[in-house]
Amino acid sequence: MTAEQIERFIKWRVYEGLTLKEIASRLACSPMELLELEAAEEQRIKAEQRIRLDNLLHESGADSKQRQEYLTGTYKRLAQELEKRDFSGLPTDKLYYILNDLHRLLLAD
């Protein structure tokens, strides 16, 4: 298999999610040949998958930094809301649970 075919295989497999059968059809080879190629290129494919996942997380706002900023902002808003409460008959217990859960998440990140 040529270097260009290997590059196409990795692109189609990792970034477009094509099946081995679909890729085999496009490259005019057998799925078994692609299984062997996938095994030989396992480290490269896993690296490409991690890069793709990292990009998706960042684009969707779910990466660690953005998650930390979101949780910190939410924690601050809840803490400010609790400061306003006089605790007489209001469902502050739920706010405390949310506040504590967010605090644990912030510590974990």
Q: What is the pLDDT of residues 58-100, one digit of tens each?
A: 888 777 777 788 888 998 998 888 788 775 555 778 878 888 8
Q: Beta strands of 16-94 (E only): which ranges?
A: none
| Domain layout of the chain by residue ranges | 3-59, 64-108
pLDDT in tens, 13-63: 999 999 999 999 999 999 999 999 999 999 999 999 999 988 888 888 777
What pLDDT sits at residue 51? 93
> Where do runs of H (alpha helix) occur along the chain?
3-10, 20-27, 31-40, 42-59, 64-84, 92-108
What pLDDT sits at residue 61? 75
Whole-model pTM: value is 0.55
